[in-house]
């Protein structure tokens, strides 16, 4: 197995500004690649940022303007944003994992999605968060089993889950069974308990774990943002909208970098994928330390479309007798 340098980008987005955040993301990717990173991981829904009003304003209490902005600035996959990100991955020769607010071209529902790009610029996979947490359900729909990719790379197999999905044992087991070596965990979760979760996950899956957070100070909310004082009130909500909690952990559960908090930074770690294989000699959760004769998991990987068309399409005439 190969040694690879991983970068975890803890940064502030330009809130609900797709173009500006995309430009910043590409700049940060170039910076990480210039430092030798070959896998670069960005935070949850970095493009175009977290819909921060879901935890600061009661639901239906004048949040329609903000949601309309989110729909307008969300990312269509594939589309111009993925083309730009793919070109940046190709130009830097890196694998890129980045969180986006995704919408279908003709839909008003937003999905919390992570995109995987290869060093050739190809969009290799997309994961939609299976279960938005708490107030997130007021802005994000639910993903399905068709978007749980595991990406083959020269450095090992790359995958992961988003934020509190990492607390879902069966989702973890499904990915463990596919031999994930580098686990990405873009998140908004803060505090020491989340770092402990990342350490447990690394030790349980015997893989490297990259937990990546955004970091946004109240002063970074644009002055022109609609109803700015309502969306985040410094006196009531504090100085940090998202303080960061980025960390990189090895397969034994030891912290290699971080946790980083209250600063924009890029954490890096040189990881040796032979450590993954060595660690699984002691414990392989879906191999020799599994009992498939006792426990079995069934995973439905079919896409769940909102509409199933039966019969001729609108452009096809019905059969004539």
Catalytic residues: 44, 129, 163
Residue with tokens 């896409």: 303
Q: Sign of the C-alpha dihedral, residues 96, 98, 104, 105?
A: negative
The neighbouring-strand residues paired with 47 are 100
Q: Which of 143, 148, 199, 198 is nearest to 174 (CA)?
A: 148
- Kindly provide the residue ranges of all beta strands, DSSP E only, lying in 187-297, ordered along the sequence: 208-212, 216-217, 240-242, 246-249, 255-260, 265-272
Secondary structure of residue 18 in the 3-state scheme: helix
The string over 109-145, giving b where at least 16 C-beta atoms fall within 10 Å of a residue's C-beta and e elsewhere, is ebbbbbbbbbbebebbbbbbbbbbbebbeebbbebee
DSSP type of residue 75: B
Percent of the chain as helix, strand, coil, to the nearest 5: 30, 25, 45
Tokens of 182: 């580098």
End-to-end alpha carbon distance in the chain:
64
């Amino acid at each position: 197995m190969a040694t690879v340098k991983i970068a975890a980008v803890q940064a502030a987005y330009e809130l609900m500004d797709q173009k500006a955040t995309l430009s910043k993301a590409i700049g940060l990717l170039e910076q990480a690649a210039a430092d030798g990173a070959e896998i670069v991981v960005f935070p949850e829904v970095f493009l175009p940022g977290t819909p921060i009003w879901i935890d600061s304003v009661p639901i239906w209490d004048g949040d329609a303007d903000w949601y309309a902005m989110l729909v307008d600035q969300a990312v269509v996959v594939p589309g111009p944003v993925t083309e730009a990100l793919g070109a940046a991955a190709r130009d830097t020769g890196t694998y890129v994992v980045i969180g986006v607010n995704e919408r279908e071209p003709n839909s008003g529902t937003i999905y919390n999605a992570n995109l995987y790009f290869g060093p050739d610029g190809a969009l290799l996979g997309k994961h939609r968060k299976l279960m938005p947490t708490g107030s997130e359900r007021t802005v994000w729909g639910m993903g399905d089993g068709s978007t749980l990719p595991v990406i083959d790379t020269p450095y090992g197999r790359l995958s992961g889950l988003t934020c509190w999905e990492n607390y879902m044992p069966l989702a973890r087991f499904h990915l463990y069974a596919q031999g994930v070596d580098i686990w990405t965990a873009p998140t908004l979760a803060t505090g020491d308990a989340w770092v402990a979760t990342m350490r447990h996950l690394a030790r349980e899956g015997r893989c490297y774990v990259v937990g990546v957070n955004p970091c946004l100070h109240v002063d970074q909310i644009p002055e022109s943002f609609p109803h700015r004082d309502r969306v985040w009130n410094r006196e009531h909500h504090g100085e940090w909208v998202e303080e960061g909690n980025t960390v990189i952990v090895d397969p034994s559960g030891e912290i290699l970098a971080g946790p980083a908090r209250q600063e924009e930074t890029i954490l890096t770690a040189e990881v040796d994928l032979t450590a993954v294989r060595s660690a699984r000699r002691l414990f392989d959760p879906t191999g020799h330390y599994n009992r498939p004769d006792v426990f079995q998991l069934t995973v439905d990987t079919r896409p769940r479309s909102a509409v199933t068309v039966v019969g001729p399409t609108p452009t096809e005439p019905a059969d004539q007798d």
